[in-house]
Amino acid sequence: MAGPISLDVDDTGLIAISRDMQLSLSLEEMKALKSHYHALGRSATGIELETFAQTWSEHCCHKTFRGEVEFEGRTISNLLKTTIAKVTADLNPDWCFSVFEDNAGIVDFDGDTAIAFKVETHNHPSALEPFGGAATGVGGVIRDILGVWGEPIANTDVLCFGPLDYPYKRLPAGMKHPSFIYKYVTAGIGHYGNNMGIPTVNGAIYFDESYVGNPLVYCGTVGLVKKSRYKRVIKPGFSMILAGGKTGRDGIHGVTFASVDLSTEQERSVVQIGDPIEEEKVRRAVIEIRDQGLGSAITDLGGGGLSSAIGEMTELGGCGADVHLERVPLKHPGMLPWEIWTSESQERMLVCAPVDDVEAILGVFADEEVEAVVVAEFTEGESLRLMHTDTVVGEINVPFLFGTNIRTLRVATQPERSFSEPSVRSTDPGADLRALLAMPNIASKENVVRTYDHEVKAQTVLKPLQGLDGPGDAAVLKPLFDSYKGVVISNGMNPEYGKIDPYHMAACAIDEAIRNNIAVGGRRIALLDNFCWGNPERPDRMWGLVRASQACYDVALEFETPFISGKDSLYNETELGPITPTLLISALGVMPDIRRAVSMDLKETGNKIFIVGATKDELGGSHFYKLKGSLGKNVPKVNAREAKASFDALTKAIDSGCVRSCHDLSEGGLAVAASETSFAGGLGIELDLDKIPRKGELSTEKLLFSESQSRFLVETCDSAAFEKAMAGTVFSEIGRVTGDKRLRITAGTATVLNIDINRLKGSWKNGL
Amino acid sequence: MAYKVCIIRAPGTNCDRETALCIGSLGIEAEVVHVKRIMDGQTHFSDFDGLIIPGGFSFGDHVRAGALLGKILKERFGDELVQFSADGKPILGICNGFQVLVECGLLPGRGALGALTTNLSSHFECRWVDLKVEESDCIFTRGLRRGIRLPVAHGEGRFLVTEGELQEMTEANQLVFRYALEKGEAAGGSYPENPNGSVEDIAGICNKAGNVFGLMPHPERAFYRFMHPRWTKSDDADSWGDGYKIFKNMAEYIRR
């Protein structure tokens, strides 16, 4: 939009300006701008308003999490600070190097080497253009790691889609079918990660009807940081170097777009085009610059493009800047200044440096054949001046841009819903088990996993598929050539439980992420939270968000697992309604020696099988109920105090060397976990349900399929050592490994089921 | 005198680091060199005692996997590399490097359309495969008798040759690795044991002299036992993996 824009108009006029320019700014925000420009005594320019829209967007400043919420008769001020970030503040672990501040959370690893981890979402772009949206989701989160001077070493991805057999007739006009989105999202993820040579080591694929038209694409990257090279210093006189791909008209208005519901009228211009080879070159250059000790600060260009990146740098430095937009290398001639300023073209980084470093930095980029130019200089004062060939096209006061805090007020109201337990029986447990193994959320994802390179860099010690292609609980990496220390990556997510209670859904997601990590030998675990929710302006959605956040505090504190980074993607709604509230918890653990890592496949005939943790009447939101067409009421609940004691004991057992395999119990409960561990090992298993530690009377199907949390199936070669390590926790020997390739479950002397493990594997492999 | 191996890279090469670590840990100096530096004349192939073309997506695999880097090596350094090979210096091409060696003519296989072409499964595939070690003069597989396991990760690994080329290669003992069934015999085209549909299950070939070797599987991802997918079943995490011997042979051959 060219020319000055007068904000001296009434409320209706302000709303019209916000709408017509696609600013997604509220009336209160527009009014704040009005009085700001009134005091300045001038009109705003288009590029200035665009800058405010980017910086104040939900995507960039998390209005909902940092605002105020009316909840159960009181006002919560800053949900993030009072729940999730408070865990870290309360625990204050000395191994957290940087949390919630920079582009990624960073924790100590080995000497000068630290680990950075970030998980992002790229939902709306993937709904419109699945391949490009997913690919640039991967590219974007890799740049977050480069943006903390980190060397990316592994990717994770968790994907949520509508059912692949969703009837075409029910699909609203313009909405892409889940099977199309599924195919191209997975292809986009593989394309970007494989081409960049970063292994995709952990993830999940989840199906639910609420994701039709609004898939969720969570992309994560783990990287190595050298603490001595981690710098964030900006001073007046320093230069800003823009490096990487050219800037084009792709990806304009991505962040403001992410802050509204999806509708069919959205433009394609919001989806960017990815080029992993370009980013590979940028990666090499950034690491070389770091290792040569050049540069003083770095950030990636993501949402909001230059406007966000340069804005944040000036705020960090407490100074101003002169930006020369005509210096930006362009894909398309004739781009307008505001387009250059807000373009979200991919593969771009911003490196800040004292003038003396500039030539050397440009040289490193040139060596990697990466285009790089000095686009701006930091200045004394607090004015961000945007220039295009000597014309000032915008001038923004930095403290006003970042200091204006229009507290968003949200209202949270508990929706009135009632739940009840169904009376379902399992007349043929064997058939039910096979049906469960074939359910899309449980079935093998091998067809997708194999299209991702999970071994490049030669650091993947425990892979996504373990034993004879069983589903691993967590990935283990050995990132340093001369050290046996390992990085352990896992995740947890239970949208089904959230349909009953978002609090327990969040608690279970945390428990699951941690227990997956513990199962392979991980410890000293840090967490990342990624909320994907519906429109937070609707009180029922907001209520769930508050409840889930409260669970994050209660449970993570008890587990002593700090949150180090997180992100929220709200407004995930289409004309079909909101998505099921979905909280992904990613867990980053370490282990002192990867040679002690434990995989989930059975190892040897004759070894004893133990179950860790108590089984309860908790099938609400379970896949067994889902199979039977019910939701239920008794959602699994986490007793974090007991769970922590048992997790700590299990870690001791693993370190003592007596644990030969370990698999967590999750969707489908004991029966599914036992099936997976046996067909992954190619060995049979014999279990007696009567020996399971439990709370209350439980029917056979509940013992088989309950999804009570904090439980593991453990194979040990030394029962005495295992029992010693686990003393004081709830556990019991329930069976043994057999050589006959059958899953045999009894209740005392009565046979409950007896099936060939290859038949079970067949159901599991052909479910998708 | 310290021996030096050149690990050549182009934009999009991404296995250079781990490959350099493998050969570098065997007492050979491994230098990762951007092809641009050779083109600019800052470095010469003749400065090195061996050459490795590692995996990745050189130049984004535009046109065809390995085609652009292959073209550069052939057109700009063809004579130099032919001499390098004639001098008996070892050249190893892994995955994308195999594709490059075929594209630039240091290994046979250009008679058919596409040389190493899109997998029959039509998608990228990452999995461990059994390999049958054939009788050959390949210096990289000396002492390897029993079958080995290595991982593949590629979308374009289907080796195609003309009848004539195949016959010539077979007679000259140039077939080095073939995809195999678990029991050891060649896969006979069966998927997924033969992951890409290569003719005669060919996974790796060498030149007639045996000092130029190209293979689709990644030995650098099987250097140690703990990189193997089932290492947790046994108690030998610390021992060497099946890929170690290939680098060890290269190092010993250089020091011969």
Strand partners, A410: A69
pLDDT tens readout for residues A266-283: 444 556 778 999 999 999
Residue A263 has pLDDT above 60, yes or no: no
**Cα A8 → chain centroid:** 42
User: Domains of chain B (ranges plus CATH)?
Assistant: 4-254 (3.40.50.880)
β-strand pairing of A200-207 with A750-756? unpaired
Cis before B192? omega within 30: yes
Domain ranges of chain A: 4-64, 598-768
Q: Average pLDDT for residues A339-359, to the nearest whole number?
A: 96
Q: Which of residues 163-192 of B touch A (CB under 8 A)?
A: none
Chain B from 24 to 43: CB within 8 A of any A CB: 25, 34, 36
Q: Which of B124, B151, B218 sits opposite A194 (nearest CB)?
A: B124
Paired with B56 in beta bridges are B13
Overall average pLDDT of the A38-48 stretch: 95
Distance CA A50, CA A1 (A): 10
Q: Do B124 and A190 touch (CB under 8 A)?
A: yes
Closest CB to A277 among B11, B34, B232: B11
Pairing of the two strands A731-738 and A684-688: antiparallel
| Contact assignment for B127 to A467 by CB distance below 8 Å | no
Full-model pTM: 0.96
Contact by Cβ (8 Å): A426, A701: yes
The H-assigned helical ranges of chain B are 16-24, 35-39, 67-86, 96-103, 163-171, 244-254
- Residue B25: list chain A partners with CB under 8 A: 481
At A492-507, the pLDDT tens digits run 999 999 999 999 999 9
The Cα–Cα gap between A2 and A341 comes to: 14
| Alpha carbon distance B204, B94 (integer Å) | 9
CA distance A746 to A688: 5
Give the number of A-B residue pairs with CB atoms closer than 8 Å: 95
Distance (Å, whole) CA A200 – CA A453:
6
Residue numbers in B near A371 (CB within 8 A): none
Cα–Cα distance for residue pair A186/B235, rounded to 1 Å? 36
pLDDT single digits (tens) B159-199: 998 888 899 999 999 999 999 998 899 999 999 999 999 99
Tokens of B67: 């085609």
State the average pLDDT for chain A: 95
**Nearest residue to A477 via CA among A95, A145, A199, A284:** A199
- When computed from its CA atoms, the radius of gyration of chain A, rounded to whole angstroms, is 26
Q: Report the SS3 class of residue A505.
A: helix
**Nearest beta carbon to residue A456 from set B14, B229, B233:** B14
Give the distance from residue A194's alpha carbon to the nearest chain B alpha carbon, in angstroms.
8
| Structure confidence at residue A2 (pLDDT) | 53
Residue positions of B annotated with a catalytic role: 95, 218, 220
Give the C-alpha separation, A168 to B19, whole Å. Answer: 49
**CB A625 within 8 Å of CB A631:** yes
If you average pLDDT over residues A188-193, what whole number do you get?
96
Mean pLDDT of chain B: 95
A644 CB-near residues (< 8 Å, 6+ apart): A558, A559, A560
B217 at A interface, C-beta within 8 A: no
A87, containing H or E segment: helix A84-91
Nearest CB neighbour to A281, from listed B11, B17, B238: B11
Rounded distance between C-alpha atoms, residue A136 and residue A250, angstroms? 12
Catalytic residue set of A: 59, 122
Closest-CA distance of chain B to residue A728, Å: 28
Q: Which of A664, A576, A575 is nearest to A208 (CA)?
A: A576
Higher pLDDT pick, B89 / A303: B89
Of residues B114 and A113, more confidently modeled: A113
Q: What is the pLDDT of residue A434?
A: 98
d(CA B37, CA B119): 33
pLDDT at res. A268 = 47
CATH topology of domain A598-768: Phosphoribosyl-aminoimidazole Synthetase; Chain A, domain 2 (3.90.650)
Distance from CA of B227 to the nearest CA of A (A): 5
Across the interface, whether the CB atoms of A478 and B153 are under 8 A apart is answered no
Q: Average the pLDDT over A548-574 and give the result.
A: 97
Residues of A whose CB is below 8 A from B17: 457
pLDDT of residue A408: 86
Q: Coil, strand, or helix at residue A29?
A: helix
Within A602-658, strands assigned E span 608-612
Instruction: Specify the pLDDT at position B109.
Output: 84
The one-letter amino acid code at A709 reads Q
Establish if B63 touches chain A: CB-CB under 8 angstroms: no
User: Tens digit of pLDDT for each residue in A404-453?
Assistant: 877 889 999 999 999 999 999 899 999 999 999 999 999 999 999 999 99
Distance from CA of B143 to the nearest CA of A (A): 24
- CA–CA distances in Å: residue A692 to residues A670, A688, A744: 10, 8, 15
**A703-730 tens-digit pLDDT:** 999 999 999 999 999 999 999 999 999 9
Task: Give tens-digit pLDDT for A206-241.
Answer: 999 999 999 999 999 999 999 999 999 999 999 999
With cut-offs at 50, 70 and 90, classify the pLDDT of residue A647: very high
Distance from CA of B30 to the nearest CA of A (A): 15
Chain A residue closest in CA terms to B60: A277
Greater confidence (B63 vs A480) lies with: A480
Average pLDDT over residues B200-215: 97
Cβ <8 Å between B126 and A462: no
Q: Which residues of B touch A369 (CB under 8 A)?
A: 11, 36
State whether CATH 3.50.50 applies to domain A4-64: no
Nearest to B227 among A277, A281, A458 (CB): A458
